[in-house]
Amino acid sequence: MTAFSLEPAQLTWCAELRALAAERLHPLAEKGEPGRVNRALLTELGALGLLPRLFTSGALDLCLMRESLAHACTEAETALALQGLGAHPVHAHGTEAQRARWLPRVSDGSAVAAFALSEPDAGSDAAALRLAAHPDTRSDGRTGWRLTGEKCWISNAPEADFYTVFARTTPGAGARGVTAFLVPADRAGLTGTPLDMLSPHPIGALGFDAVPVTADDVLGEPDRGFRVAMDTLNLFRPSVGAFAVGMAQAALDATLAHTAARDAFGGKLRDLQTVAHQVAEMALRTEAARLMVYAAATAYDEGAPDVPRRAAMSKLLATETAQYVVDKAVQLHGARALRRGHLLEHLYREVRAPRVYEGASEVQRGIIAKELYRTLDATAKEAGT
């Protein structure tokens, strides 16, 4: 199997996921409240065996899940993805006790996870985190930290049951002075506020007022939390691209059906060369983005050395492509696509956020350039030039 030709079993699985999303997940999503965690939807994702796959599948399978679900139910896709984003650090870097306590509940949908990296003044520049972890000695003599500061733009906040929190344990050390902590939502001093956002999934801000954490709450090693964050993002960035590809494909499919049926100028819209060429361009870009996403995910699964560059490229191309395709779809549908409740009205709101979260498009370009020059410098060094 290559990244460019899925096996028949994978194609069948994707078709089954699209059917499940339409028949069983979309009705539950429709009953959810915008801006709130849909726990019934999470429970169903767990019952269908999709949440457990977050911890047993590779990057390519994650992409196939996200793309397939997004095609029919973006809410289900996002609910699944946010569980994975918040819980992957526990799965990959947590202790046996941390995994035993939280991962079964994440897998059955009874516990909501969240990834708390961004801050009011440290979104794209993740190494500039200011949430402070001050050393603290407890009454029982154990040493730990007190977390003081803010997090912002956190998906699933403030309704999550636990947060993967990144805090500065060594001032002035940049990326090398950040530690990842597993913080249960009921920890004293932790508060949250929902934010009213364009995207329908829950996003909030968190306040930390001397929140106590100990060595038992550390994910990975102290001062090595930035590695935990980047490992998680390198896995999930291609799958953000897969989410975008799923939305682009849904918009393209709707446009094909509409232009084939719509009467205009004595024929069908599809008969107009300008329309046909736009549809062809939408399809071309969607397929190119899909292939780059699959290639990046395969590189991750194979442990390739250029994963950061490939992950950034796939996320950048796919999210920018989805924005283009959905916008063109709206234009070709006309005013009906702007009516509340129309598929494209929904996609138009959904498609904007992925170009910002998990590293804005500008950040992805910066990563790509950095990796290219790093490779160039390493090659030159080996050649002795």
Nearest Cα neighbor of 371 from 309, 307, 315 is 309
Distance CA 250, CA 339 (A): 17
Beta strands in the chain (DSSP E): 113-116, 132-137, 143-155, 162-168, 178-184, 190-194, 203-214, 218-219, 263-264, 267-268
Q: Output phi, psi for 123, to 5 deg.
A: -100, -75
Q: Output phi, psi for 6, to 5 deg.
A: -70, 150
Distance CA 333, CA 109 (A): 37
Residue 68 in contact with residue 142, Cβ under 8 Å? no
Nearest Cα neighbor of 178 from 187, 169, 186 is 169
Name the residues annotated as catalytic. 358
Q: Output phi, psi for 155, to 5 deg.
A: -65, 140
Distance CA 317, CA 321 (A): 6
Residue 134 in contact with residue 148, Cβ under 8 Å? yes
Q: Which residue has the tokens 């499919």?
A: 253
Distance of CA 349 to the CA centre of its chain: 16
Nearest Cα neighbor of 67 from 255, 247, 210, 204 is 247
Nearest Cα neighbor of 79 from 101, 54, 59 is 54
Distance CA 228, CA 180 (A): 7
Q: Which amino acid is at 77?
A: E
Q: Which amino acid is at 220?
A: G
- Peptide bond before residue 158 is cis, with ω within 30 degrees of 0: yes
**Those residues with Cβ within 8 angstroms of residue 90's Cβ, 6 or more apart along the chain or in another chain:** 98, 99, 102, 103, 106, 113, 164, 182, 219
